[in-house]
Amino acid sequence: MNMKTVVITGGNRGIGLSITEAFVNAGYWVFVGARNESDLEAKFGDKVTFIPTDVRNDSAHRHLVKQAIDVTGRLDVYINNAGYSEWRPIEEIDDLFLDDIIATNLKGAFWGCKAALSAMKEGGCIINISSIAGKRGSPNNSAYVATKFAMNGLTQSLAKEVGSRGIRVNGVCPVLIPTDGLIEALKSPHGPAKGDGAGFIAKFGLENAALKRLPTGAEVAAMCIFLASESSSAVTAQNINVDCGVFPQ
């Protein structure tokens, strides 16, 4: 059986790095598009191809897809993972901030889907890494929340649009995952952590999760592996929580 090919945006750190590792271990050709390589070469060697990418640009996604097709001749999975969060009250949100978070989190996913669908054949799948913030609001978080609600809508709509082509589109909605990026974002004076990111995350899990803990990046990655597999062949248009039971649905 020929190796399958996956493209992962933002697959160089945080949840994205866990997703990259999972697909390497599953035997995929892995292409990572991100601004910086980080430690990908040291960690994975030639098992991962890094391509400098600014996900805000349509052309960058098209270049990612072309590189994957040129090397492997196929595109099976495209994962829109790149994004960021930042807490700000609405009075501190300006054009520059709003334009950037929309361009990164939402337009980045749009362009990724568009580029992937230009090359994907029957059996392919797109996975959008969203958040439970795309299902419920929280204070001082309106910009991020809005992008994730929109991403969830994009997932549902595109699944209906391309299902007749045998292509599935799903979203994954993690709760708080203690990555370096989240810990940094929680330093914001407007965030819920009040300066203690690690303490807030631990307390949040105990008080809100059915399992009394929060998921790991590896558990988010495991959901992506499932959604990319034949085992999920009847699953599309879903935004699936990976949250240890924080937000029952």
User: What residue ranges do the domains of the chain occupy?
Assistant: 5-176+216-242
Tell me phi and psi for residue 202, to 5 degrees.
-60, -45
Query: pLDDT for 218-227, tens place per residue?
Result: 999 999 999 9
Q: Is the Cβ–Cβ distance between 123 and 76 less than 8 Å?
A: yes
Q: Tokens standing for 89?
A: 């009250």
pLDDT band at 112 (very low <50, low <70, confident <90, very high): very high
Find the angle CA(15)-CA(116)-CA(96) to the nearest 5 degrees: 60
CA dist 73 and 231 (Å) reads: 24
Helix residue ranges per DSSP H, 77-141: 95-101, 108-117
* In the block, residue with structure tokens 């085992």: 231
CA dist 149 and 131 (Å) reads: 9
Q: Is the Cβ–Cβ distance between 245 and 209 less than 8 Å?
A: yes
Q: The whole model's pTM is what?
A: 0.95
Confidence check: pLDDT of 195 > 80? no
Helix residue ranges per DSSP H, the chain: 14-25, 40-44, 58-72, 95-101, 108-117, 142-162, 180-185, 197-208, 217-228
pLDDT band at 182 (very low <50, low <70, confident <90, very high): confident
Helix residue ranges per DSSP H, 139-245: 142-162, 180-185, 197-208, 217-228
Confidence check: pLDDT of 1 > 70? no
pLDDT band at 3 (very low <50, low <70, confident <90, very high): very high
pLDDT band at 38 (very low <50, low <70, confident <90, very high): confident
**5-176+216-242 has which fold?**
Rossmann fold (3.40.50)
Specify the pLDDT at position 163.
98
Q: Tokens standing for 66?
A: 């072309």
**Residues with catalytic function:** 144, 148
Confidence check: pLDDT of 198 > 80? no
CA dist 151 and 29 (Å) reads: 26
